Structure 1
Amino acid sequence: MFELKDVSKSFTLHNQGSTVIPVFDGAGFTVARGECVALTGASGAGKSTLMRMIYGNYRAQSGVVAVDGVDLVTAAPREIIRLRREVLGYVSQFLRVVPRVPTLEVVAEPLLALGVPAPEARARAAALLRRLNIPEPLWALSPTTFSGGEQQRVNIARGFAHGFPALLLDEPTASLDAVNRAVVLELIAEAKARGTAIIGIFHDEAARAQVCDREIDVTGFSPACAA
């Protein structure tokens, strides 16, 4: 489902004399359906950068970054948009939504974008919000007013609303209490069981040990770290 081959990436700091910062050189690995892989490495090693490359926010200078056979290095923008709508979900650390949109609609939106009838989409969104312990009186409010932990749970509900075949998780259990942490780990296990391929960043070592099948240390792909 995920396939990276000989991926290279660098950033040019144009406001600092066009200094080139190498990030990756020759990065490569695969992740199969039903497998959860954790990206590890010291802070600054490039875990988040690699996740953004796999999602198509950053483009590699060379190599292949393929999701379900689509190479995001060469794909047209419309193909990347289709991939994100149908195949590739991304649960980031921070909730970014249009202000004043009710929480129930925020969670249902990925389903509505796929043409799921509104009553069914809202019912599935409600079930996830209930499971993640978001009080029903809050569903009609914008999540921009919520606490950090509540926003994270809304973000997780949104990411799991559609059964994406491929999923990126950036610190999905950070800021959560023990009860909601357990719910999120259950959701990850259920996604794996239905064949979802998952790449995640888990600083929570116990969570990583519970749901991840193996780890990939991105330090090995970094010229700066190797030096």
Structure 2
Amino acid sequence: MITIRNLSKSFTLHNQGGTVIPVMAGASLTVAPGECVALVGASGAGKSTLMRMVWGNYLAASGEILVGGVNVATAAPREIIALRRATLGHVSQFLRVVPRVPTREVVAEPLLALGVQRETAQAQAEAMLQRLNIPERLWSLSPTTFSGGEQQRVNIARGFVHPYPALLLDEPTASLDAGNREAVLRLVEEAKSRGAAILGIFHDEGARARLCDREVDVTGFTPGLAA
């Protein structure tokens, strides 16, 4: 479902005479349906850079990123938008939403974008918020006013409200207490059971041991760090 072949990335520092810094080379991995793969490596090794390339926020210098048959490395913006709408979900550490939009609407938005009727989308969003222990009194408020842990759970609700065939998870259990952590772990396990291909960063060692089938050390893809 997710296949990365010979991927490379560099950054050009235009304010320093156009200096080019290579940050990744030769990255290759696959994530099969129903599999969860953890990216590991020291801080700065390139875990987040690789995730951002798969999501389409960073443009690869060369190589392929195949997600559901779409090559993200060369896809047009409209193709990436379509991929994100139906196939590739993403849960980041940080909630980025339009201010004053109610939490219920924030979570329902991925379903509405797919053409799900508003009443059905909102009902599914409310069910997901309930699973993640977001109090009903908060559903009509903007999540921009919430605590860090509450915002993280809204992010997770939004990322899991649609059964994406592929998921990117960036520290999904960060900032969560034991009860809410367990709720998130169960959601990930359910996603695996239905066949989702999951690529993630998990600094929570217990979560990584429970959820992940394999680990890929990105240090081997990082110029200057690879052995």
Range into which the TM-score falls when normalised by the shorter chain: over 0.9
Q: Percent identity?
A: 74
- Residue in 1 aligned with 2:142? 142
What is the letter of the counterpart of residue 216 of structure 1? V
- Residue in 2 aligned with 1:46? 46
Matched, 1:115 2:115: yes
Question: In the TM superposition, what is the alpha-carbon distance from 1:45 to its structure 2 partner?
Answer: 0.3
CA distance in 2, matches of 1:110, 1:226: 39
Question: In the TM superposition, what is the alpha-carbon distance from 1:17 to its structure 2 partner?
Answer: 2.4
Runs of 4+ in 1 over 2 A off after TM superposition: none
- Residue in 1 aligned with 2:157? 157
CA distance in 2, matches of 1:198, 1:142: 29
Kindly indicate whether the alpha-carbon contact (under 8 Å) linking 1:37 and 1:212 is maintained by their aligned counterparts in 2: yes
1:120-139 superposed matches below 5 A: 120-139=120-139
- Residue in 2 aligned with 1:12? 12
Q: Deviations over 1:142-161 (max 9, x none)?
A: 00000000000000000000
State the superposition RMSD in angstroms: 0.8
Question: In the TM superposition, what is the alpha-carbon distance from 1:224 to its structure 2 partner?
Answer: 2.1
- Residue in 1 aligned with 2:66? 66
CA distance in 1, matches of 2:19, 2:203: 31
CA distance in 2, matches of 1:192, 1:114: 22
Q: Deviations over 1:51-102 (max 9, x none)?
A: 0000011111111011011101111111110000000000000000000000
- Residue in 1 aligned with 2:172? 172
For normalisation by structure 2, the TM-score amounts to 0.99
SS at the partner of 2:64? Answer: strand
User: Which structure 1 residue ranges, 5 or more long, are not aligned?
Assistant: none
CA distance in 1, matches of 2:4, 2:184: 27
Q: Deviations over 1:94-144 (max 9, x none)?
A: 000000000000000000000111111111110111111100000000000
Kindly indicate whether the alpha-carbon contact (under 8 Å) linking 1:22 and 1:224 is maintained by their aligned counterparts in 2: no
Matched, 1:2 2:2: yes
